[in-house]
Chains A and B, each alone.
Chain A
Amino acid sequence: MSANHHTHIETDIHIEKQGFDDHFHEHHEGDKFQTNFIFKYIFSMDHKMIARQFLITGMLWAIIGAAMSIIFRLQLGFPNESMAWLKPILGKWITINEAGIGSLDPEFYYGLVTMHGTIIVFFVLTAGLSGTFSNLLIPLQLGARDMASPFLNMLSYWFFFLSGAVLLYSLFLSTGPFSGGWTAYPPLSALPQASSGSGAGMTLWLVSLALFVVSVLLGGMNYITTVLNLRTKGMSLWRMPLTVWAFLVTAILALLSFPVLFSGFLLLIFDRSLGTSFYVSDIFINGMALDRIGGSPILYQHIFWFLGHPEVYIIILPAMGLVSEVLSVHARKPIFGYRAMVYSILAIAFLSFIVWAHHMFMSGVNPFISNFFVVFTLIIAVPSAVKVFNWISTLYGGNIRLNTPMLFCIGFVSMFISGGLTGIFLGNSAIDIQQHDTYFVVAHFHIVMGVAAFFGMFAGIYHWFPKMFGRFMNETLGKVHFWITMVGAYAVFGPMHFLGMAGVPRRYYRFDSFEAFQGFDDMNKFITVAAIITFFAQIMFVVNFFWSMYKGRKMTTQNPWGANTLEWTTPIEAGHGNWPGKIPSVQRWAYDYGKDGIEFTQQHVPLREGEEHSSH
């Protein structure tokens, strides 16, 4: 206790001596935002509060999205069981026959699959992950008072909220939500008569996603500007923690790719409402030829995947950044190959823009053009492997604390390897002929960008929970959560590889009427049971989260993990502006762990006598 007290005072003295005085607290504009309940908790312009808003909204969406997957997993695992008990929740989407057997409406099944994808990809793993941690960590780790524009930052959250509200509303339409898959390919998405969800459901889906793009652009503009303009004294780019590097590159990706998606959506809206023929042609619907000429659905796929592929890195890069930081802190070792980590983030980001057509090998694109995309897709394995190698090397010989955040980091590396390897299969256009649109693809992307990104997010939540709420999450529940999730995720997605190799297609409502797929009944049951168990472990996490917010062990020191980055130099209850006096100046890089026999040296601590900068 006294040792901690000692470092407390030492930190304050360092900040007072070397800190940078920006006269923040001399004018009141910084503090007036928190004057009453509404401006403190609802229309907050404090980045720490906005981060918590993103996180909790993201968690609500995660529960909804995951619950949907449980419902369609029940259908796939137990197609003959009665679902009448779900009638109170799903209402008319459960039809009960004379024998009292309730079955899920096939149209609604597609709606569930579509909403599950949309919600998890956009609301949880984009807004919930990078929205939360970019907001929390960029200003804190860079020594900034707040984002470049707190007002646009607040708007970014509220556009996200609105976008969510619109999508939520679409779930309750009598014609059902959009049900043409989260990628919204035309003609299902372009023609209101294509399916019942393609009418009002699709209109709301488009409105929701357009609002979401606005939210991402406002957020991203702020993140990039803040990182490049508002770093504290001494914080050169090469001294930034890897988290901030990852958030910066993520925001750049988002700013370059989301406008493209937006333009694709606009053309889709024109096709839907003004009778243009960007994507639809004179196809036959109900025996009638459509009065459109020459539109190309492949054009939509090109535009969609030009966003879609960078989007998967928008999801995974922040997770990588969080893992790099948390892994290093809890291994008590500097991150191995810091510069290689940064260069590989940049390489992945660059490559992500020239591989999009690997989602379209089977759409009839020229096979010679496919070759180009195969080569660049496989090259992504190189920077990814560099990162994996560096994470493992950081662990090697480390003084590892096997606490919950660390476990999730190791779990992340495991998932990233397993899911990454199957990517090499799918990236080959020849093998993709067999694997395309099968459960192999489902297994691949769920492990590599779904589970892995969630693990990165969990590592981040357990690690920075004390920074957000001043308390710790329960460690025992955390470990139970980890182990069930780790084993559960492999139990769910592992068997899907076999389904996929046997050619079982994704998005089908039931398989028992197909001779070829009947042998997989037990496997589908197993997957469903595993999914249910894993789902309940996540509920346990949510309970732990909210319980710990009020009842968790209190944080009594500024820097409980012994980490080097600047967020741990702020007071436990940091007000608006983050530091009560001056802002700390940065004297060294973020990874001086175990240097000269000293366990850790924080970034604001000046070089000791005779000490030299770590070479990195």
Chain B
Amino acid sequence: MPIVQIFHKDLPPDKIQAYKFALWIGMASIIMFFAAITSAYLVRKPVGNWYEFKLPVQFFYSTILIVLSSVFIEDAYRSIKAKSEARYKRAIFLATSFGVSFIIMQIISWKAMVATGLFIDLNVSVSFLYVISGFHALHVIGGLVALLISLLNAFLYEFKPDPLRILKSDLVRQYWHFVGILWIYLLVFLILQ
């Protein structure tokens, strides 16, 4: 049974499809979550007792990985719409691989931080960095689950580019772009701070 179920099969064209809409609402609440944490950061910083340190360079590598992953998820969506099976399989595989490498790179970043003595309880500035990147990573893992399911579907089952599959692919794509853009926002925020 699909997780999201719509009974109205023929929605009037002027109404946005409920699937996508529900996803956008979910994104809005995720935005509020990170807005709250970054606001807390802004409120806390001028109070003082703030340890300045350099962002781990690995964060920039992971940015490249997540952007590449976004490029391939876009390609996957376009190829399922174009009903091109081989291209779809390749794209979804690459998107998932880059997604997994993003998480691995984030873990490497945290290890590098720990190696230089930046523990989570060292100073609130460090704690914020772990909280922001950690909870972003959790949201990416949520998207990765969807990507892995798409990957399994792509390689284990028959290629069926019907409207429902295309819609699902679109949902995965939108969420994946969303966590990618969210990461870029968070990184820019951290650099500017």
Least Cβ–Cβ distance between B138 and chain A, in angstroms? 10
Which of the four size classes fits the interface of chain A?
Answer: 35 or more
Separation of A258 and B33 alpha carbons in the complex (Å): 8
- Type the 1/0 row for B27-68, where 1 means its CB is closer than 8 Å to any CB of A: 011101111110010011001111000000000000000000
**Is A276's CB under 8 angstroms from B120's CB?**
yes
**Is B32's CB under 8 angstroms from A149's CB?**
no
The chain A residue sitting closest to B28, CB to CB, is A255
Q: Which one of B10-18, B75-83, B161-169, B176-184 is at the A interface?
A: B10-18
The residue that A266 contacts in the complex, of B35, B47, B48, B131, with Cβ under 8 A, is B131
The residue that B127 contacts in the complex, of A146, A151, A270, with Cβ under 8 A, is A270
- Type the 1/0 row for A478-516, where 1 means its CB is closer than 8 Å to any CB of B: 000000000000000000000000000000000000000
The residue that B40 contacts in the complex, of A225, A230, A263, A274, with Cβ under 8 A, is A263
Separation of A344 and B123 alpha carbons in the complex (Å): 45
Within 8 Å of chain A (Cβ to Cβ): is B21? yes
Segment 243-276 of A: residues with Cβ below 8 Å from B: 255-260, 262-264, 266-267, 270, 274-276
B interface residues, how many (CB within 8 angstroms): 42
**Is B26's CB under 8 angstroms from A221's CB?**
yes
User: Which residues of B have CB within 8 Å of A262?
Assistant: 33
Separation of A257 and B35 alpha carbons in the complex (Å): 11
Least Cβ–Cβ distance between A214 and chain B, in angstroms? 11
Within 8 Å of chain B (Cβ to Cβ): is A303? yes
**Is B18's CB under 8 angstroms from A275's CB?**
no
Given A256-B28, A264-B36, A293-B49: A29 and B18 within 8 A (CB)?
no
User: Which residues of A have CB within 8 Å of B26?
Assistant: 217, 221
Within 8 Å of chain A (Cβ to Cβ): is B188? no
**Is A276's CB under 8 angstroms from B11's CB?**
no
Given A148-B18, A150-B5: A299 and B127 within 8 A (CB)?
no
User: Which residues of A have CB within 8 Å of B34?
Assistant: 263
Within 8 Å of chain B (Cβ to Cβ): is A463? no
Least Cβ–Cβ distance between A171 and chain B, in angstroms? 30
Within 8 Å of chain A (Cβ to Cβ): is B3? yes
**Is B123's CB under 8 angstroms from A224's CB?**
no
**Is B21's CB under 8 angstroms from A267's CB?**
no
Least Cβ–Cβ distance between A142 and chain B, in angstroms? 11
Separation of A262 and B135 alpha carbons in the complex (Å): 12
The chain A residue sitting closest to B38, CB to CB, is A263
User: Which residues of A have CB within 8 Å of B33?
Assistant: 259-260, 262-263
Given A276-B127, A278-B44, A296-B47: A229 and B32 within 8 A (CB)?
no
User: Which residues of A have CB within 8 Å of B115?
Assistant: none
Least Cβ–Cβ distance between B68 and chain A, in angstroms? 29
**Is A149's CB under 8 angstroms from B123's CB?**
no
**Is A274's CB under 8 angstroms from B3's CB?**
no
The chain B residue sitting closest to A306, CB to CB, is B36
**Is A299's CB under 8 angstroms from B44's CB?**
yes
Within 8 Å of chain B (Cβ to Cβ): is A465? no
Segment 385-421 of A: residues with Cβ below 8 Å from B: none
Within 8 Å of chain B (Cβ to Cβ): is A135? no
**Is A275's CB under 8 angstroms from B9's CB?**
no
Within 8 Å of chain B (Cβ to Cβ): is A294? yes
**Is A30's CB under 8 angstroms from B4's CB?**
no
User: Which residues of A have CB within 8 Å of B112?
Assistant: none
Separation of A22 and B8 alpha carbons in the complex (Å): 6
Separation of A263 and B33 alpha carbons in the complex (Å): 6
Least Cβ–Cβ distance between B27 and chain A, in angstroms? 10
Given A228-B21, A294-B49: A146 and B30 within 8 A (CB)?
no
The residue that B22 contacts in the complex, of A225, A259, A577, with Cβ under 8 A, is A225
Separation of A293 and B123 alpha carbons in the complex (Å): 8
User: Which residues of B have CB within 8 Å of A224?
Assistant: 21, 25
Most buried by A among B7, B29, B33: B7
User: Which residues of B have CB within 8 Å of A229?
Assistant: 11, 15-18, 21
The chain A residue sitting closest to B25, CB to CB, is A221
What's the count of A-B pairs with C-beta under 8 Å?
133
Least Cβ–Cβ distance between A195 and chain B, in angstroms? 23
The chain B residue sitting closest to A216, CB to CB, is B29
Given A294-B48, A302-B43: A228 and B29 within 8 A (CB)?
no
Separation of A468 and B127 alpha carbons in the complex (Å): 50
The residue that A29 contacts in the complex, of B5, B12, B32, B47, with Cβ under 8 A, is B5
**Is B8's CB under 8 angstroms from A152's CB?**
no
The chain A residue sitting closest to B8, CB to CB, is A22
Separation of A374 and B81 alpha carbons in the complex (Å): 55
User: Which residues of B have CB within 8 Å of A148?
Assistant: 4-6, 18, 21-22
Least Cβ–Cβ distance between B104 and chain A, in angstroms? 23
The residue that B32 contacts in the complex, of A146, A221, A255, A276, with Cβ under 8 A, is A255
Least Cβ–Cβ distance between B134 and chain A, in angstroms? 10
**Is A278's CB under 8 angstroms from B21's CB?**
no
Within 8 Å of chain B (Cβ to Cβ): is A23? yes
Most buried by A among B9, B11, B36: B36
User: Which residues of A have CB within 8 Å of B15?
Assistant: 228-229
Least Cβ–Cβ distance between A151 and chain B, in angstroms? 6
Given A221-B25, A293-B49: A299 and B43 within 8 A (CB)?
yes
Least Cβ–Cβ distance between A292 and chain B, in angstroms? 8
Within 8 Å of chain B (Cβ to Cβ): is A57? no
- Type the 1/0 row for B127-145, where 1 means its CB is closer than 8 Å to any CB of A: 1000100010000000000
Within 8 Å of chain A (Cβ to Cβ): is B121? yes
Least Cβ–Cβ distance between A422 and chain B, in angstroms? 30
Within 8 Å of chain B (Cβ to Cβ): is A569? no
Separation of A295 and B49 alpha carbons in the complex (Å): 9
Segment 123-152 of A: residues with Cβ below 8 Å from B: 144-146, 148-152
The chain A residue sitting closest to B43, CB to CB, is A299
Within 8 Å of chain B (Cβ to Cβ): is A544? no
The residue that B30 contacts in the complex, of A220, A259, A278, with Cβ under 8 A, is A259
Within 8 Å of chain B (Cβ to Cβ): is A24? yes
The residue that B47 contacts in the complex, of A146, A225, A294, with Cβ under 8 A, is A294
**Is A277's CB under 8 angstroms from B22's CB?**
no
12 intermolecular pairs with C-beta atoms under 8 Å apart: A22-B10, A151-B3, A226-B18, A230-B18, A258-B29, A260-B32, A260-B35, A264-B40, A270-B131, A274-B120, A278-B40, A306-B36
Instruction: Give the 9 A-B residue pairs with the shortest CB-CB distance, closest first.
Output: A294-B49, A275-B121, A259-B33, A276-B127, A260-B36, A229-B18, A263-B36, A145-B7, A259-B32
Beyond known contacts A148-B5, A149-B22, A230-B18: 14 more, CB 8 A cutoff: A144-B8, A148-B18, A148-B22, A149-B4, A221-B25, A225-B21, A228-B15, A259-B33, A264-B36, A277-B124, A294-B49, A299-B43, A302-B40, A302-B43
